[in-house]
Amino acid sequence: MPEFLTLLPPDEAREKLFSHLPKPEIASELIEVPSSLNRISAEDIHAPHPLPDFRRSTVDGFAVQAKDTFGASDSLPAYLNLAGEVPMGAAPKSELEPGHCMTIHTGGMLPEGANAVVMMEYTQSAREGELEIYKSAAEGENVIRIGEDVAQGQLVQAKGTLMRPAEIGGLLALGLTELRVAKKVRVGLISSGDEVIPPEESPRPGQVRDINSHTLAALVTKSGAEPVQYGIVEDTFEALHDTAAEALSECDLVIITAGSSASTRDMTADVINKLGGPGVLVHGINTRPGKPTILGVCDGKAVIGLPGNPVSALVNGYLFVVPLIEKLLGANPRPKATVQAKLTVNLPSQSGREDWWPVRLVSPSPSRSPKGVLREGAGGEVLEAEPIFGKSNLIFSLAAADGLLRISPDATGLSAGEMVEVLLV
């Protein structure tokens, strides 16, 4: 296979794949906003009204006219007449007159005539119906103005936005209960190999349980797409071709695990070339793990061949499958979550090759935080990145990791004590 020895850097390989795909036609569907978590919006959303649509207090205190408090201090308090209380969830019953104040709670609607709120702790009752104020308030202090969050007609959410809890809350605050989102991309998953058996079976000597299709299915689901399992296919060209052709006809993207190396028994590349043009675009990525990865396009749909080793398959799923799903969903580019950490040991690397190491993030203090919670060390000290050493067929080397560390192809390694960027997974 001549393509196998032409190794491309991951970024260049990904761009080559994308350049051979047609511009995606984003199909959409209307769903309830509370059910839209991790979906991609398929429409621009403009605010139907300002938010908030009335002036409200940000604290518990007293609504005042700011000029009535000017010069107030501990030694020379201002005295205002108490004119009642603003009811929660309702408009004030009267306008605030000069020289008066009203009790107001957080979120309460400011009465007409008021333009500031004095916090409760800067006041005390002088006598019945009268309030002492020990701190002056500037106009607008402790008040949210009409439209301070969003103005009427403002673009609050662009097409292609990833729906997170904040986006869901924002739309509901505007009274928007339905949203048009991109339909989930269907990703066909195929495992190949005579030695591969379902996870629920007991392996005989030489057999291994299929985990790749399930770890990749979880990654696909996490990325907002729908995994479609096509099972384990025997090591024959006809069986793999027929299953891949079925998956290609029913899905937007097809992933085949195993069968991607240069072995004569590995026919994934040949199958891809037979499924449609232009076929295999890249056979071999200049990275570790995952060198034998195959990227192809068959009649406008991407087909990816990933190595059978679980770590290689999952790491290259992050590098190629996730960005491809985002492209097919029309998602706006977003920075990936990373953290800075200090490398604990020297890491060697081959110049010209991009390496990805699983690492564990730990606090340098004796008391270490549990995996999945740590973001900075106790007391704010710098985190440490401990590489997890293991071969690419050892899935628990990746299960124990908090993230992936990239060694660029122009480096010959990284030194202990060096600050590195870790991609959280």
Q: What is the CATH number of the domain that holds 86?
A: 2.170.190.11
Residues 325 and 201 in one domain: yes
Do 125 and 165 lie in one domain? The reply is no
In terms of domains, do 222 and 261 share one?
A: yes
pLDDT at 380: 61
Is residue 73 pLDDT above 90, yes or no? yes
**Residue 264 pLDDT greater than 60, yes or no:** no
- Please state, in angstroms and rounded to a whole number, the distance separating the CA atoms of residues 118 and 101: 9
Q: Residue 7 pLDDT more than 90?
A: no
Q: HSE (CB half, 13 Å, CA atoms) of 414?
A: 24
Clarify whether residues 177 and 312 are in a common domain: no
Q: Is the confidence at residue 409, as pLDDT, over 70?
A: yes
Residues 379-395 have a mean pLDDT of 79
Residues 269 and 294 in one domain: yes
In 219-331, DSSP assigns E strands to 226-233, 253-257, 278-283, 287-288, 294-298, 301-306
CATH number for position 315 = 3.40.980.10
Q: 39 and 177, same structural domain?
A: yes
Please say if the pLDDT value at position 258 is more than 50. yes
Residues 343 and 367 in one domain: yes
DSSP 8-class letter at 379: G
Residue-range definition of the domain harbouring residue 176: 28-51+149-182
Ordered strands of the 130-133 beta sheet: 116-119, 61-64, 100-104, 78-85, 130-133, 123-127
**Averaged over 385-398, what is the pLDDT?**
81
Residue after which a domain boundary falls, among 329, 360, 388: 329
d(C-alpha 226, C-alpha 39), whole Å: 11
Beta-carbon contacts of residue 53 (< 8 Å; ≥ 6 apart)? 146, 147
Pull the structure tokens for residue 104: 């107001």
Q: Give the C-alpha distances (Å, rounded to integers) separating 329 from 41, 92, 295.
A: 9, 48, 19
Does residue 70 carry a pLDDT above 60? yes
Give me the pLDDT at residue 260, please.
Answer: 57
Judge if 126 and 90 occupy the same domain: yes
Q: What pLDDT shows up at residue 138?
A: 96
Structure tokens that stand for 39 in this block: 């979906």
Same domain assignment for residues 207 and 310: yes
Q: Are residues 21 and 33 in the same domain?
A: no
Range 304-312 average pLDDT: 91
Q: What pLDDT shows up at residue 369? A: 47
Q: Are residues 302 and 199 located together in one domain of the fold?
A: yes
- The CATH number assigned to the domain holding 165 equals 3.90.105.10
Residue 84's CB is within 10 A of a number of other CB atoms, namely 14
Please report which confidence band the pLDDT of residue 329 belongs to, taking 50, 70 and 90 as the band edges. Answer: very high
Q: Residue 26: its pLDDT value, please?
A: 93
CA nearest to 280, candidates 16, 9, 12: 16
Out of 263, 298, 329, pick the residue that ends a domain.
Answer: 329
Instruction: Report whether pLDDT(370) > 70.
Output: no
Query: How high is the pLDDT of residue 389?
Result: 86
Instruction: Over range 7-14, report the average pLDDT.
Output: 92
321 and 196 share a domain? yes
Is the pLDDT at 377 greater than 70, yes or no?
no
Q: Does the CA dihedral 55-59-62-66 come out positive or negative?
A: negative
The amino acid sitting at 263 is: S
Cβ within 8 Å of residue 335, ≥6 positions away? none
| CATH number, domain with residue 385 | 2.40.340.10
Specify the number of domains making up the chain: 4
Domain boundary among 182, 203, 233: 182
Average pLDDT over residues 387-394: 77
pLDDT at 379: 52
